[in-house]
Amino acid sequence: MRTWLYKVDTRVSPYLYIAPFFLLFAVFGLWPLFYTAYVSLFDWSLLKDEHTFIGLQNYGEMFQDSYFWNALFNTVSILALSTIPQLLLSLLLAHLINRRLRLKTFWRLGMLLPNVTSVVAVAVIFSQLFGRDFGLINWTLEHLGLGRVDWQAGVLSSHIAISTMIIWQWAGYNALIFLAAMQAVPKELYESATLDGATEFQQLRQITIPSIRPTIIFVVMVSTIFGLQVFAQPQLFAGGGGGAALTGGSDRQFQTLTLYLYEHGFSRGFEFGYASSVAWVMFLVIVVFAFINYRLVRRIKK
Amino acid sequence: MRRLLIPLLAVGLLASACGGNDTPSGNEKITLTIAGFGDFGFKPLYEEYKKTHPNIEIQERISDYSAHHQSLISHLATNSGAADIEAIEIGYLSSFTATPNRFHNLLDLGAKDLQSTYLPWKWEQGLSTDKKTLVGLGTDVGGMAMCYRTDLFQKAGLPTARDEVSKLWPTWEEYVATGKKYKAALPDSFFMEASGNMFRAIVEQAPQGVYDDNDKLVVETNPLVKKAWDLTVDAIGAGLSNKLTAWTPEWTAAFGKGTFGTIVCPAWMTSYIETNAKDASGKWDIAAVPGGAGSMGGSHLALPKQGKNQKEAFELIKWLTAPEQQKKVFKATGNFPSTPSLYTDPDLTSFSKPFFNNAPLGKIFTASAQAVKPQHQGPKQGDVFNAIGGGLGRIEQGKQAAPEAWTQVLADCKKLA
């Protein structure tokens, strides 16, 4: 009896220990996912009690809506403008901080600070910096004789402003993840490379990057997933909470997919059915992009 | 076993004791929650209410305008989480009066006798489409006036006394014409903060706005809407608009810097001007709004059905929206009462503020509230104005010419129908 119990214990216990996560995931992750798919097949307004089954009509309407494609374009554009510079910056920061430095902990903590600050605070402050009339950035530009920019009005300028907020928030955090991986790279590699006369940049490219490949893949994937869901930054960038905050500017120049979802779910008669179908398409878009990026990054040489 | 049994029994007894008290008696503590946005000026009133109702505890939840209404909607949809009392602004009210089933019918709770207390059109706004359910009791009304900077008007060579200024613009066309003179004299200053606000004011004054009485969208067919649009486009073309978006940090900052000369001001706007333009005390004044009277904004207090203490909650909103209390709120915040019995009260009509150059706020807003003719608001009122506001924004930012912007506005509105 004892040995039997012991056997059961060793075999079953690990599953029991991880079960809570999967149970919670099923309740708060899987179930909403499937329920959203179910809701997306209905004409489902939050304010009404009857919900009519309409099949794939919501999806059809969405694909015909030019504003949806516009939101997809904006999302991908902001993803590219934020993620690529951010990862390069993170690598560089990690590389710099990986050397012998005084006050190591201070620098590392400092890099984490922007990430600890609430998204809302960051977005509010940056929106003021990028302000059209009284923003610090425009003030500086004007004094340099470069003229003012109406950051919110343009497509590219608004995307740059939003990307800056994202970079500010995540560059340091990702740098710390890179740093952790870099510290596991054997020092001898660098020593012999230095003896062979490799420059700092060559060392970064030939030794560091290949050695931390799995970490880079991880960071790229996570950044892609978060980047495609960006919401608070464009919403608060428009400010005011009125129409522009829903549509991402008067011409929808910085309306991301989540903002598009929000516009339909939380105004316009609260079309939760439609918003759910947007959520599902977003999910698929994220899967596709994560896959593409995975294939791209995997090509880094071992 | 015995050690376990006693606590278990005690728990059981407690549970049944709680279960038995679903109908609260007079001397038991009841906590009422009230959710709102911005500042309703109710805080000091709660203390006063508690003195006469010692068993009532009041908790206030305040968030910003859109967050408040959006969480209210999700609370209603999921049937949990709503406060006992919810404030609803007119921009959202019409979507609830179209589907009133999630609210207590105040007519059943004793509101029937209160009808004569409120302005008829304010009462109407709280009624469901079939007129059988009263969703909310009115708090303030947004009768319009025009606030202006006397110092900027003087620099522009325009009259500064409020009666003379009112005479400058009996119509909106004359308002825009005055703006052009202002701009010619002060090229670096702007005549108005945002063109969308002017457009909205013109439309809110019309007998019919963006919806007809059967909740059908009439943006395309109502000639008044197009006329308002054209006039607003003219004002944008003349460079009169500061191109600000209400409630953004830029907007707030512009008050402080004094970059524009006029702003359409419903009564509640006066407190925003006062807080945003602290240094400009005495420089602001209030004239009549062009085009006659109209209402912009204003709120109601409603009781979601999920709230259990509807009797006590109704007593509280009845008290909060009674003339006495509305007068106190007006004096503290500028929100103008919806109860006509006050309009002859000298205490209210003689009320003025040094910040606004001692303009008789009481008198001005009384006249404005009395002259309002009710206009039917449709279920997606706010969204329609957002769509049109977007079009004006595209013209302001130079992204579209007016005809293209109008075509897109009409297409956007079609999707809302």
- Residue in chain B lying closest to A128 (CA): B249
Higher pLDDT, B247 or A283: A283
The CATH superfamily holding the domain B29-141+298-349 is Periplasmic binding protein-like II (3.40.190.10)
pLDDT at B166: 95
- Residue in chain A lying closest to B400 (CA): A251
Q: Do B249 and A127 touch (CB under 8 A)?
A: yes
Per CB-CB distance under 8 Å, the chain B contacts of A242 are 66, 245-247, 386, 389
Positions of chain B with pLDDT lower than 50, given as ranges: 1-25
Domain topology for A67-298: MetI-like fold (1.10.3720)
Per CB-CB distance under 8 Å, the chain B contacts of A131 are 249-250, 253
Which numeric CATH code is attached to B142-295+362-416?
Answer: 3.40.190.10
Closest CA to A273 of A84, A43, A74, A87: A43
- pLDDT tens figures, A4-51: 888 888 888 889 999 999 999 999 999 999 999 999 999 998 878 889
Residue B133 and residue B103 in contact, taking contact as beta carbons nearer than 8 Å: yes
Asked whether this chain's domains B29-141+298-349 and B142-295+362-416 adopt the same fold, the reply is yes
Residue B336 and residue B293 in contact, taking contact as beta carbons nearer than 8 Å: no
- Residue in chain B lying closest to A153 (CA): B397
ipTM of the complex: 0.85
Interface contact B385, partner A, CB < 8 A: yes
Domain ranges of chain B: 29-141+298-349, 142-295+362-416
Interface contact A267, partner B, CB < 8 A: yes
Q: Which amino acid is at A180?
A: A
pLDDT at A241: 67
Interface contact A40, partner B, CB < 8 A: no
Interface contact A266, partner B, CB < 8 A: yes
- pLDDT tens figures, A92-137: 999 888 877 788 888 888 888 998 988 889 988 999 999 988 899 9
Q: How far apart are CA A156 and CA A237, in angstroms?
A: 14
Q: How far apart are CA B3 and CA B7, in angstroms?
A: 7
Per CB-CB distance under 8 Å, the chain B contacts of A241 are 64-67, 247
Per CB-CB distance under 8 Å, the chain A contacts of B245 are 238-240, 242, 244
Interface contact A242, partner B, CB < 8 A: yes
Domain ranges of chain A: 2-39, 67-298
Q: Do B95 and A47 touch (CB under 8 A)?
A: yes
If you average pLDDT over residues A273-290, what whole number do you get? 94
Q: Which two tokens stand for residue A104?
A: 């190591």
Helix (H) or strand (E) holding B63: strand B56-63
- pLDDT tens figures, B115-167: 999 999 899 999 998 889 999 999 999 989 999 999 999 999 999 999 999 99
Beta strands in B150-279 (DSSP E): 190-192, 260-266
3-state secondary structure A94-141: HHHHCCCCCCHHHHHHHHHHHHHCCHHHHHHHHHHHCCCCCCHHHHHH
